[in-house]
Amino acid sequence: MAEVGIRELKQRTSEVLRRVREQREAINITHRGRVVARLVPVEETSEKTDETSKVWADMDRLAQEIGTRWPEGVSAVEAVREQRREL
């Protein structure tokens, strides 16, 4: 991973940010040789949206499966209380 000192970052901010943006490069920012920060490219929003949609679809499927197997007349609160009593 590339490293850039704070002084160099001040002098070449646009160039460093261009590397992060265009080359998708993560860059460590150092102060007196120690890493104090990291510049990383932001994930594309559409990728996150697709991933989030998949997670919610899985949750909906799981909720539907639980609902079909859940005993009638038993609330979730009652089920949790019963499990706690058994412990």
For residues 34-48, one letter each, b for 16 or more C-beta atoms within 10 angstroms of the residue's C-beta and e for the rest, the string is eeeeebeeeeeeeee
Tens digit of pLDDT for each residue in 4-25? 999 999 999 999 999 999 999 9
**Residue written as tokens 């990291």?**
38
Which pTM value belongs to this model?
A: 0.51
Q: In Å, how far from its chain's centre is CA 62?
A: 22
- pLDDT per residue as tens digits for the range 53-69: 899 999 999 999 998 99
Q: Are the beta carbons of 30 and 36 closer than 8 angstroms?
A: yes
